[in-house]
Amino acid sequence: MKSEYTDKLLIDELKRISVNAGNAILKEYKSNIKIEKKDDSSPVTKADLISNEIINESLEKLTPDIPIVSEENSNVSFKKRKSWNRYWLIDPLDGTKEFIKKNGEFTVNIALIVCNEAQIGLINAPVMKNIYWGHKKHGAHMHNQNGIITQLKVSETIGNTRRIAISRSHKSDDLKKYLRNIKEYKEIGIGSSLKFCLVANGDADYYPRLGPTSEWDTAAGQAILESAGGSVLKLSGEPLRYNLKKSFLNPSFFAINEKFDSYGLLKELAQK
């Protein structure tokens, strides 16, 4: 009981931190957005940096003994971090391109990695006013804009028409080729880590990502989906894991409702 109570308090704190970061992002969202380029040519805005500062400072106070890796401060050597049993992995503004387009499909992502697995994940969509979270021990939930908390569960049934969550801004050639070989499907386009939430909430059957992502893009969504009865698998069939190599880049993967035929899907993806 004590552990469950402590976990609830931690989730409540993470929700508070994400709301503070989200509110700061929304102030920038309503103004003229100034865009800069990082070394890898990806866009970064003032909102990314402000959110990053809020989350880092808050987590350092909340759990001073747990290190932090963020998209905006990821210059921690693998030699140092490979010995970490647990650490925070955050994306202070996931979906910067959606933020710049002002379509509302961006999120704040916070995950706790324990022994290379995403144990706890929280995703806040500030414009939509929805907060999703998952804990391997306590399941997945959503706090919607009306203040109602509901449990997240993958769909109980799989229909004849596949419901596939697709990245709105990152549709790779491999993904286009894969989709051309599927006879009957419904494409659900959405930005950021919200694709994981669609599968976790039963609104999509799976999310194939046949292109580059970084570990902070996926960790929170993976924790939520796995807590809701789903999986995030590499094309080898192995679960996606964290902090096992120098690079933060993920391989291609699919996030899936476990009731779906993952073996058959893997064969399709291998033939893309």
Are both 241 and 118 inside the same structural domain? no
Q: What is the value of pTM for the model shown?
A: 0.95
Question: What is the spatial distance between Cα 109 and Cα 122, in angstroms, rounded to a whole number?
Answer: 6
pLDDT for 42: 84
Are both 148 and 16 inside the same structural domain? yes
pLDDT for 5: 53
Question: What is the spatial distance between Cα 148 and Cα 164, in angstroms, rounded to a whole number?
Answer: 27
Question: What is the spatial distance between Cα 272 and Cα 256, in angstroms, rounded to a whole number?
Answer: 18
Amino acid letter, residue 16: R
The answer to whether 25 and 55 are in contact (CB under 8 A) is no
Are both 203 and 99 inside the same structural domain? no
Domain for residue 101, yes or no?
Answer: yes
The answer to whether 95 and 124 are in contact (CB under 8 A) is no
Question: Which tokens in the block code for residue 147?
Answer: 């203040």
pLDDT for 170: 77
Domain that holds residue 53: 2-152
Number of domains in the chain: 2
Are both 138 and 265 inside the same structural domain? no
Amino acid letter, residue 116: N
Residues of the chain predicted below pLDDT 50:
1-2
pLDDT for 112: 98
Are both 114 and 196 inside the same structural domain? no
Cα 253 to the chain's mean position, in Å? Answer: 13
Are both 123 and 168 inside the same structural domain? no
What's the CATH number where 71 sits? Answer: 3.30.540.10
Amino acid letter, residue 125: A
pLDDT for 1: 34
Domain for residue 144, yes or no?
Answer: yes
pLDDT for 190: 97
Picking from 109, 128, 152, the residue at the C-terminal end of a domain is: 152
Taking the CA atoms of 252, 243, 90 and 4 in sequence, report the sign of the dihedral they define: positive
Picking from 98, 132, 152, the residue at the C-terminal end of a domain is: 152
Question: What is the spatial distance between Cα 141 and Cα 183, in angstroms, rounded to a whole number?
Answer: 33
The answer to whether 96 and 42 are in contact (CB under 8 A) is yes
Q: Which helix (H) or strand (E) covers residue 29, if one does?
A: helix 2-29
Are both 131 and 169 inside the same structural domain? no
DSSP 152-208: E---S---SSEEEEEESS---HHHHHHHHT-SSEEEEEE-TTHHHHHHHTTS-SEEE
| Neighbour count for residue 151 (Cβ, 10 Å) | 12
The answer to whether 220 and 118 are in contact (CB under 8 A) is yes
Give the three-state DSSP class for 83: coil
Are both 46 and 93 inside the same structural domain? yes
pLDDT for 4: 61
What's the CATH number where 246 sits? Answer: 3.40.190.80
Are both 136 and 25 inside the same structural domain? yes
The answer to whether 109 and 193 are in contact (CB under 8 A) is yes
For the chain, the farthest-separated pair of C-alpha atoms sits apart, in whole angstroms, at 52
Taking the CA atoms of 220, 221, 227 and 230 in sequence, report the sign of the dihedral they define: negative
Question: What is the spatial distance between Cα 184 and Cα 221, in angstroms, rounded to a whole number?
Answer: 26
